[in-house]
Structure 1
Amino acid sequence: DIIFSTINNLVFYNQNKPFFIVSPIMSDEEEYLLLERVYSQINSYLTYPKITDLLDIFKKYGTISNENGIKKELYQYFYKTDKNTTIENQSLGIRHLIQEDLIQINVSANDWQSALFTAALPLLQKNYINRSYIEKIIENVNSNRTSFLITKNVSLAHAKPEDGVNSLSLSITVLKKPIIFKNDKIPTQYIFTLAAVNKTSHINAMSELVALLEMPDFYEILNTATQAKEILTFIKSRFP
């Protein structure tokens, strides 16, 4: 009935169904705006309140000293109150997935293929994934025009659970020099390789990753750390 995709493909437009391009990882605001767009297309009698309209009402009767702050909280409030589905392993956060030996810094790579392989190698060495999983990640980029870029300089590499995942896990790789991946126009310097065992158990960890990627000091520690444990300590301090 509805098509959601992270890639823009003409085939989807020919299905005569509502089609939405989405980011693999979205903030509360982006998720809320997506819901707003979906409801406006498929449910003319059901609407989501527009945050901009609410702000206009507030301004009529008072003074807003921090418009961006209140807007962010409104998006969080209205979106989170709509999350009624219980997520399996909801307490499993990023601190449960990240280990010191899954963090690599100052990594050299000659091309995007070697960058993706090296980024996933710690997961393979701990048997969290099979070699086929890495091969599938690279194959997807080559054959499906897949882009793992989720924000500036950051890529979230992944494939499907059935492609060779043995255990839920996540690795962090900081490249010495940024590399432009095939299908991308801007370079990647930070690669997060995700191995998910199903559709839900990694959701909470990914939500925390989004929060980390919005922290300027997270990039600072990624760039300046001389040991992996410095990055691990930072993450645990933010999500104890």
Structure 2
Amino acid sequence: MKEIGVIQLLELITKDLIQLNIEATDREDAIRKAAQPLVEANKITDSYVDGIIKSMKESGPYFVIIPHVAMPHARPEEGALENAIGITTLKTPIEFMNASNDPVKYVLTLSATGNDEHLETLASLAELVEEESFFELLDKATSAQEVIDYLKER
């Protein structure tokens, strides 16, 4: 697997895919709201979002990977149109029913058009979520541009 650097990450995360302090009522609402910018940007289809929710209901919230962070995604064939990452922060953290890592405050929605891209996207995100400074920035950011600037500088 090739290493993903800043340029590739910035190709996956664009300003229009970042939302800060979004209100959500429950985990399904949080996923739908977090995925909406990717739908609007034609990165994923509505059926992809439905696939995420269906998978969560069948298998549990397996994508809540570390405390306070969910990385919802579905299989590429469920409607991934382009490789992308959406970043959403929730105004009020939501219980996703993952005892180890609830409540979720950060929803990083993944779209990968194939298995290789899926693994590369996860690898690039894994590096990012290890940075405490990334979450500190998300907590105080007031614009999507601040997040993009952080990614450019890292």
Structure 1, residues 131-171: CA drift from partner, whole Å, max 9, x if none? 00001101111122242111110011000000011111110
RMSD, aligned α-carbons: 1.8
The question of 1:232 aligning with 2:144 is answered no
- Once the two structures are superposed, the pairs formed by residues 197-212 of structure 1 within 5 Å of their partners are 197-212=113-128
SS at match of 1:208: helix
Residue type of the partner of 2:147?
Answer: I
Q: Is the 8 A contact 1:94 1:204 kept in 2?
A: no
Name the counterpart of 1:178: 93
| Aligned twin of 2:38 | 123
TM-score normalised according to structure 1 size: 0.59
Is contact 2:112–2:121 with CA below 8 Å preserved after alignment?
no
Tell me which residue corresponds to 1:169.
84
Conserved in 1, the CA contact under 8 Å of 2:89 and 2:106? yes
1:96 match: 11
TM-score under structure 2 normalisation?
Answer: 0.90
Task: Please show how residues 44-123 of structure 1 align to structure 2 within 5 Å.
Answer: 93-123=8-38
| Counterpart Cα distance in 1 of 2:43 and 2:120 | 19
Given that residues 156 and 194 in structure 1 are in contact (C-alpha distance below 8 angstroms), is that contact kept between their aligned partners in structure 2?
yes
Partner of 1:8: none
The amino acid across from 2:110 in the alignment is L
2 CA distance for matches of 1:90 and 1:199? 15
Q: Which has the larger radius of gyration?
A: 1
Within the candidate set 121, 126, 130, 1:214 is matched to: 130
Give unpaired runs (5+ residues) of structure 2.
Answer: none
Counterpart residue type for residue 112 of structure 2: A
Equivalent pair of 1:90/1:203 in contact (CA under 8 Å)? no
Unmatched 5+ residue regions in structure 1? 1-85
- Cα distance 1:200–1:218, how it changes in 2: closer, same or farther (>3 A)? same
CA distance in 2, matches of 1:202, 1:94: 13
> Is 1:188 matched with 2:104?
yes
Asked if 2 retains the 8 angstrom alpha-carbon contact of 1:170 and 1:195, the reply is yes
Structure having greater relative contact order (Cα 8 Å, sep ≥ 6) = 2
Percent of pairs with identical residues: 35
Once the 2 structures are TM-superposed, how far is the Cα of residue 128 of structure 1 from its aligned partner? 1.0
